[in-house]
């Protein structure tokens, strides 16, 4: 079975440019999470969707970040404009929204903003 698929795997962009990260969750999963991982702050939950609806986006650092889930099989995380401090690994994860179900992570998108 295909796992959570993220793209791009690696992205290097210049400050001020728009960055779009993409995620395809595991088929049948109805919860989707975007995480950011940095050395300073570890793994942080940015936003959580349930049945394509954003449930909690309080983890999104600022208005430059936005996330959408137009359908059950696709989500995007956009940063506009990007800044060097946005450099991090961004993980998408999905699960069935029942208590105790394992969250499956994608392989991550490595973002470097120079």
Partner 1 sequence: AQTVTQSQPEMSVQEAETVTLSCTYDTSESDYYLFWYKQPPSRQMILVIRQEAYKQQNATENRFSVNFQKAAKSFSLKISDSQLGDAAMYFCDLPPLVCVGNMLTFGGGTRLMVKP
**Footprint on this chain of partner 1 (rule: CB under 8 A):** 41-45, 48, 55-56, 58-59, 89, 91, 93, 99-100, 102-103, 105, 107-108, 110
Confirm if 20 and 70 have CB atoms less than 8 A apart: no
Instruction: Give a three-class secondary structure readout of 43-70.
Output: EEEEEEEECCEEEECCCCCCCCEEEEEE
Smallest distance, partner 1 to C-beta of residue 59, A: 5
Considering beta carbons, is residue 17 or 23 the nearer one to partner 1? 23
Supply the minimum distance, in Å, between the C-beta of residue 3 and partner 1: 9
| Contact (Cβ atoms closer than 8 angstroms) between residue 6 and residue 106 | yes
Name the token pair of 17. 């440019």
We find the least distance from the C-beta atom of residue 16 to partner 1, in angstroms, to be: 26
């Amino acid at each position: 079975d295909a796992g959570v698929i993220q793209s791009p795997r690696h992205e290097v962009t210049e400050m001020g440019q728009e960055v779009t990260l993409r995620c395809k969750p595991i088929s049948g999963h109805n919860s989707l999470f975007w995480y950011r991982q940095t050395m300073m702050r570890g793994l942080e939950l940015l936003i959580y969707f349930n049945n394509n609806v954003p449930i909690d986006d309080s983890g999104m650092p600022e208005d430059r970040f936005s996330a959408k889930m137009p359908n059950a099989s696709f989500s995007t995380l956009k940063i506009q404009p990007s800044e060097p401090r946005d450099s991090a690994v961004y993980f998408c994860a999905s699960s069935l929204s029942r208590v105790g179900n394992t969250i499956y992570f994608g392989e991550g998108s490595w973002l470097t903003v120079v």
